[in-house]
Amino acid sequence: MLAETDDPAEFRRLFERYFEHFNFSSTSSNKYKPLEQKLSAVTGWRPAAMKYTSDAKNLKNRIGEVRNLPGKPVHAIIFVPEKLAGGAQKAANELVVDGEFRAIGISASDVKPAAIQALIYDVRTVTPEPIAAAFPALQLVPVESAVAGEIIERGAVSLGSCAAETGVDEAVLQGWLTRLQRKKHLVFQGPPGTGKTFIAKRLAKLLAAESAGLVDIVQFHPSYSYEDFVQGIRAQLVAGSVTYELQDGRFLKFCTAARKQPTQTFVLIIDEMNRGNLSRIFGELLYLLEYRDQSIELSQGGKPFSIPSNVFLIGTMNTADRSIALVDHAIRRRFSFVFLGPDYEVLQKHLLAHGLPASSLIEVLRKLNASIGDKNYQLGTSFFLGAALERRESLQHIWEGEIEPYLEEYFFDQPARIDEYRWARLAASELAAWVDPTA
């Protein structure tokens, strides 16, 4: 049995022993009462272990009971048969909506010391003593995160696997990784179709896999604001009345989660970064991005805020988007930039792997990009990568539906220049082998 103790070593021993021998197969709710009482006494939590049989009404009543237990509102731990785990979690999520009480479903077959330890290290939980001292060296991934994103286990991605997936040389990847680790903020910029977001995600996972962690993504747009990203007053409907509360935005929540997991790496990808009003969105973060070891009071007040050292940012910018002009030097000074252009070698490998005539398409793309004459508006190769182009007949759909409209936009005042790159003409000349294999 668990016992009240301030000795971390003793707590850990008793905690693991209790969960190892606890009878989770019993249908009697009384079997869970000692567990609740002991956990509450030791941790200061308000926990609940309950049997779930798909009866949402009973679950709701049980949660109501737990609300009245002494201790801080943290978790309801729902132990259920494997086949009911999803349903229990769904019902709990629907019932627990006030933001003060959390519910997590765990399959009874997964109730092992490691699973319970991972639960303790949920990024939402301000872990009480002596739990934090009892498990100081564990590199555990949260069971469920307060922020969206993908949990990355330690060693899940290697430099070699990342190079194979992206087609980027290992030495180049290592260089980008080194720049990101040094600066903590990196931006991939380039014309459309150059794989900026794809590579950003893979590099983020590679970095996170060094120590385990989490990768999340947000996309900026003209309506995105400081209140969305950092902090702001939001209207809330409570008991039929509208109230206004100060709420953390996406980045503050992300930093809060990272601060609770200081040994893990948290990477936030900001996609289409230049489509937002960056000076307005970042606000005081412009200071904190440059001075990572300092804190500052946010405009909405409250405690001084700082960006945890284990938080990294990777942005993407489409240089063909005219809003790129809004990215001033104050923003640029705080990020390291990598320009991504068309990678014809990666495209060639993909086409040859599927038995497609690579040389003719690449020759047309090189000629087309030379005609465009501006590296910021060149046509990237990712239009033709992956499942998009694995059969000859797909090229016509891609060209007519994606390439020609892009050219019509770019050459809107020079329509004659587009005629040279219409599919009808190319299919009868340079790209004839894509229509007729015997050509």
Model pTM?
0.68
CATH class of 151-339: alpha beta
d(CA 301, CA 406): 46
How do residues 260-293 score in pLDDT, each as one tens digit? Answer: 778 889 999 999 998 998 989 999 999 999 999 8
pLDDT, residue 34, reads: 55
**pLDDT digit string, tens, across residues 46-60:** 444 444 444 555 655
Residue with the two structure tokens 């009543």: 61
Domain ranges of the chain: 8-144, 151-339, 344-435
What pLDDT digit, counting tens, does each position of 408-418 carry? 999 988 988 99
Mean per-residue pLDDT over the chain, rounded = 75
